[in-house]
Amino acid sequence: MDVRIENSWKEQLREEFEKPYFETLTNFVRSEYSGPTPIYPPARLIFNAFDHCPFNDVKVVIIGQDPYHGAGQANGLCFSVNKGVPFPPSLLNIFKEIAADTGRPIPADGDLTRWSDQGVLLLNATLTVRAASAGSHQNKGWEQFTDAVIRILAKKRENLVFILWGSYAQKKGAFIDRNRHLVLTSPHPSPLSAYHGFFGNHHFTLTNDYLIKQGKSPIDW
């Protein structure tokens, strides 16, 4: 199956694209986008996280769950929103922790493309969603696909940083070899849990300290 995705990822995921579940998933997604209800992100941005972060450029992986399901929010990068969109609560809390951890001021916009272009793969477990219906595209095959992405990175790359916020992400990344990669875990940045261990986790400076030790350039958060 010919999938419109960045070339290095197309090569790495070639076998995945030929599996029966992916064909079933593709048919489902196409039917959803052709229906009357808006689907997010826009179809051209489904693989945006991969297009901005080629396989060999990945330094950090942040795992989210679902795209935002409000109009104009989702841009294919987990936790990220388009410029001009108000910060969702979790993203605001991420920026607050960055400010406390690194001294960097809260940015003017929530578009995290600037992270992707530095080697941060912002990977949602499910890459599409129906408008105003959180979780509507779960259990259709996306989770199997993104599990494969994580496995390939964990196996073929070394000394990556995997950032797993909340129980969902931690379960999804449970198999990652902690001797081969740095795995950082904490509660989710959601307002429901941010004060129970997300704030003060220092994941942003811990990530950069590790990258520097590995001879890699740190992330400008």
The residues assigned a catalytic role are 66
Choose among 211, 194, 210: nearest CA to 98.
Answer: 194
DSSP, residue by residue, 37-60: S-EES-GGGTTHHHHTS-GGG--E
The CA-based dihedral angle spanning residues 146, 90, 197, 209, taken in that order and rounded to the nearest 10 degrees: 70
Q: Report how far residue 89's alpha carbon sits from residue 194's, in angstroms, rounded to the nearest whole number.
A: 10
Distance from the Cα of residue 2 to its chain's centroid: 23
Omega cis (within 30) before 36 = no
Choose among 59, 165, 198, 67: nearest CA to 117.
Answer: 59
C-alpha distances in Å from residue 156, one per residue of 125, 182, 190: 20, 15, 32
C-alpha distances in Å from residue 121, one per residue of 146, 180, 196: 12, 18, 25
DSSP classification of residue 97: H
